[in-house]
Amino acid sequence: MREKMQKRSRQLFESGYYCAESILIAFAEQHVTESRIIPGIATGFCSGMARTCGLCGAVTGGMMAIGLLTGRNAPDIPIEDTYERIQKFLDRFKEKYSTLDCCQLIGCDLKNPEERERFKNERLINTCFDIMEAATGLVYDVIQDQLQN
């Protein structure tokens, strides 16, 4: 199932959705009913927080997917379980890539038009595809780890 989720998120990304959107859609399709707000709710988180060199969209998409599956839907439900899962995901991502920052991960600033052109010409999108696919796997692992404990 892990590989299926990774393949689906990559397929979504390659079809034109962006990083955060692709991860969120893949997990939503697998675990919940369809919603009109997905992927739109994730759009601003793509490209390093809307091209601000912030958190990688694969990271924020992963966080949203974990929240979608484990987050609370009433104020009296504890937050600890969701926070623990997100912290594990972030720790594992950072262990793998040493950073959570989009610009550091891909080596360019997407806010800068010249850098976006370099991103396109050098096909740095392939780096994003790989990172997003790996993040999907890490989200899957964290969710499965928690379900088995």
Q: Render pLDDT for 53-109 as a digit per residue (tens, 0 to 9).
A: 999 999 999 999 999 999 999 999 999 999 999 999 999 999 999 999 999 999 999
Burial class, 77, CB count within 10 angstroms (exposed 0-12 / middle 13-18 / buried 19+): exposed
Domain ranges for the chain: 2-148
Q: Quick check: helix, strand or coil at residue 72?
A: coil
Contact between 132 and 13 (Cβ < 8 Å): yes
Predicted TM-score (pTM) of the model is 0.94
